[in-house]
Amino acid sequence: MIYIIYLVIFGLFLTSVLGLVASWIDRKVTARVQYRVGPPFFQPFIDITKLMGKEVVVPNTASKGMFFFAPLMSFAGAVVASTILWINQLGYTEGFLGDLFVVIYLLMIPSIGIMLGGLASGNPLARIGASREIKLMLSYELPFILSIASIIVRSGNSIIFHRIIEIQGQNGANALSFSGGIALIVSIICIQAKLSFAPFDIPEAETEIMAGPLIEYSGIYLGLYKLTKCVLLFTLPFFIIILFLGGLNLSGIGIVYSIIKYIALLVIITLIRNTNPRVRIDQAMKFFWGPVTVAAIVSLVLAFIGL
């Protein structure tokens, strides 16, 4: 019963609210970079609410079962991943063996849901976007997992979040080491691709294929995809903070430091998004399988030798 409470209160409600706030920060920083004022604080909440109330239009060419299931699948994967992170961070339990691997898997599901939704819609542009999403995912997952592997090595081969946080409390944040610093940079780059933010917004390139896999979606199902991205905008930096920056401290002055850590990561992601042009899918694949993977391997080797 307690896990259901965590799922609803922390994974679903709190993460969704924090994700929408993160979306506002992202849009506000973007506006400032472009010398605009930006939207008011409540704008992301209004946008999602309006989408949830609009009519759902289903194309005749769609595979209706998968068309409806894909956005639910994406949202569920992001929410459950967030719930596991909250359970470990709040100290209710010490997690379970391999909870790190479970979260890595769950964070893949939103991208898989986007692919399936694009393919199920029957639209040629959506299929192009889904194809790009598949290629992009195959590109960034390898260096992302290698960067996490270096943290596992630094944590005494532990694959439990609670133990990783505990070791950082004893020895300092992983990001302060050579291997952890490199792995953190690799992870931030991979998160940029996971969020489909520029320069890796290739699957949904508006000026090329409009919205890509989401082109046929409307109403509540489009709202679920948008809300999933907001949830990931909170969950992915949260994941990085736990692995590399010692987690969140939710007591006393530690709350302020935790907010600063999160906002700093979010601003970095937003600045990368606004200062780099979109790359082609072949360029993205060469980049992730080339220098990014090499950097991840270097961080893993440094972790093995204790640096």
DSSP letters of 177-222? SHHHHHHHHHHHHHHHHHTT-TTS--TT-HHHHTTGGGTT--HHHH
| Number of domains, the chain | 1
The C-alpha atoms of residue 87 and residue 246 are separated, in whole angstroms, by 15
The C-alpha atoms of residue 186 and residue 157 are separated, in whole angstroms, by 20
Among residues 75, 80, 107, which one has the least CA distance to residue 237? 107
Q: Within the chain, which residues score under 50 in pLDDT?
A: none
Which residues have C-beta within 8 Å of that of residue 10, sequence separation ≥ 6? 82, 83, 86, 87, 90
* Burial (0-12, 13-18, 19+ Cβ within 10 Å), 240: buried
For the packed helices 178-194 and 219-244, what is the interaxial angle rounded to 10 degrees? 180
Phi, psi angles (nearest 5°) of residue 172: 100, 160
Question: What's the pLDDT score for residue 92?
Answer: 60
The C-alpha atoms of residue 35 and residue 249 are separated, in whole angstroms, by 34
Phi, psi angles (nearest 5°) of residue 187: -65, -40
- 48 lies in which domain range? 2-304
Q: How far separated are the first and last CA of the chain, in Å rounded?
A: 43
The C-alpha atoms of residue 222 and residue 211 are separated, in whole angstroms, by 11
Question: What's the pLDDT score for residue 247?
Answer: 85
| Identity of residue 85 | L
pTM higher than 0.85: yes
